[in-house]
Amino acid sequence: MATDYTPSEMMAAVAARELRDGEVTFVGIGLPNLACNLARALHAPNLVLIYESGAIGAAPDRLPVSIGDPSLVTGSLMVCPMADVFQLFLQNGRVGVGFLGGAQIDRWGNINTTVVGSYREPKVRLPGAGGAPEIAVHARRVLVISRLSARSFPAEVDFVTSPGQRSHGRSRRELGMPGAGPVKVVTDKAILESDPSTGEMVLTALYPGVAVEDVERGVGWPLRVGAALDTVAGPTGEELRLLREVLDPRGLYLS
């Protein structure tokens, strides 16, 4: 285990370990993309990556800078219209893992990428939904990557862009959503997981050198701590080598 690494490198390594060989993964650009390609280089060579722009089974030979980057076509199994990505793959139950992030993530895993403040008179207008709501509803499970802060992790999001485990007192099953939703949140300090019975996000693992109190200060609700609190190992030397020298040598997303 290496001791000299950045929070972004830790998040990418932890997220990569969550992926299983052969899974179909709906992924975006940035840390999720790095995590997927790190997993593919180490333990999941048959991971199938799907990008919203229509690249299926992409194997880019350089780091893509957007979902429309031409490098995503390289080695792809298929390139199709965006509508086919959502209708034939996502809504058809063929996506095993969806990666999401957001400006706000709340106690129940709801994600906000729409507005901060009221919808009609927002303090900040965010990028919007994109394909995130569909991913949150239909992917078999959703992994979320976000840096921990009380502003980003309120008890309740200002606007539900992508549904989590509960909304307005109703569960995903009551609302008719087929996928498992956000089951794990990978932060820069710890891992939160949804309680199977309540849907509440619970602290289940800490990173090296992080205390429970550090995580509690980063959320806006009384954080529950799992009965068996794990400690996550830092990135290995090989994980760091691949991230720094192969996947993101210019430090576009790891800096």
- Supply the residues annotated as catalytic: 52
> CB neighbours (10 Å) of residue 49?
24
Q: How many CA atoms lie within 13 A of 110 on its CB side?
A: 21
Q: Which residues pair with 78 in a beta bridge?
A: 56
**142: Cα separation from own chain's centroid:** 7
Residue given tokens 């086919």 in the structure block: 84
- Give the Cα separation of 236 and 233 in Å (integer): 8
Q: How many CA atoms lie within 13 A of 97 on its CB side?
A: 25
Residue 15, SS3? helix
